[in-house]
Amino acid sequence: MKKYTTILFDMDNTIFDFDEDERSSLIKTFKQFDIPATNETLTGYSQINDALWKRFEKGEITKEDIKNTRFKTFLEKFGFVCDATPGQINDCYAENLAHSGNLIEGAMELCIKLKSYGYKLYIVTNGLERTQLFRINKTGIDKIADAIFISETIGYQKPLPQFFEYVFENIEEKNKEKIILIGDSLTSDIKGALNAGIDCIWYDRKNSDYTLNDLPTFKVKDIREIENILID
């Protein structure tokens, strides 16, 4: 008999290729506002955005702060002058991102296979509700997942214990030993799962080879390897 019944799936950079979605949405947005889309500007934005989300994970800032700050800081950093306000650029980017939905190769196939083996599948994501729901529905993942948990809707984000408590209260499985989380982020997914007392698979997509203080239960570099862990 298999050990787990229930899988909590992170969304961005685990099922969805967020890096690709972000990049294509940024290029589209920059074009609309005559901002040069170069490797330097695209990477520059991502660094600013990533740093803000890390602060959000720690509870230091709100998601409103992220929306209001990211393009303002970006324009200042590169000295770009733009007719539009940072808020307008942000809205345009959010719209473009909501319509993106590149998947990690093999991720959808894995979800379908796990489902056919009887697993309950839940999406657990830190993100903006409208954006995430749009992307989920576009790809059809909503038809495979048993439920979707978005931090903006819950009011707490991974790795906060309140996020996981909310999820545990709203899923069928009550035995934590039968629940496993799959995610790419050490700071939100792996830390959150370990603190919440459930097993986890670290999808080390970028081959980062970190030395961890808290070890994930499993580690994979290719999403397809998860089949070997969860299906006998």
Q: Give the contact letters, 135-174, x = binds to Mg ion (CB under 5 A), - = no.
A: ----------------------------------------
- Annotated active-site residue 10? The verdict is yes
CA atoms within 13 A on the CB side of 201: 24
Q: How far is CA 65 from CA 47, 54, 62, 203, in A?
A: 16, 12, 5, 29
- Considering beta carbons, is residue 179 or 190 the nearer one to Mg ion? 190
22 near Mg ion, rule: CB under 5 A = no
The CB-of-127 to Mg ion minimum distance in angstroms stands at 9
Q: Which of 151, 184, 186, 196 lies at the binding interface for Mg ion (CB under 5 A)?
A: 184
The CB-of-175 to Mg ion minimum distance in angstroms stands at 25
d(CA 10, CA 126): 8
d(CA 18, CA 7): 20
- Considering beta carbons, is residue 73 or 188 the nearer one to Mg ion? 188
10 near Mg ion, rule: CB under 5 A = yes
d(CA 51, CA 187): 12
Contact 164, 183 (CB under 8 A): no
Which SS3 state, helix, strand or coil, does residue 16 take?
strand
13 near Mg ion, rule: CB under 5 A = yes
73 near Mg ion, rule: CB under 5 A = no
- Considering beta carbons, is residue 13 or 29 the nearer one to Mg ion? 13
DSSP E strand boundaries for 30-161: 120-125, 147-150
Contacts with Mg ion, residue ranges (CB under 5 A): 10, 12-13, 184-185
Active site residues: 10
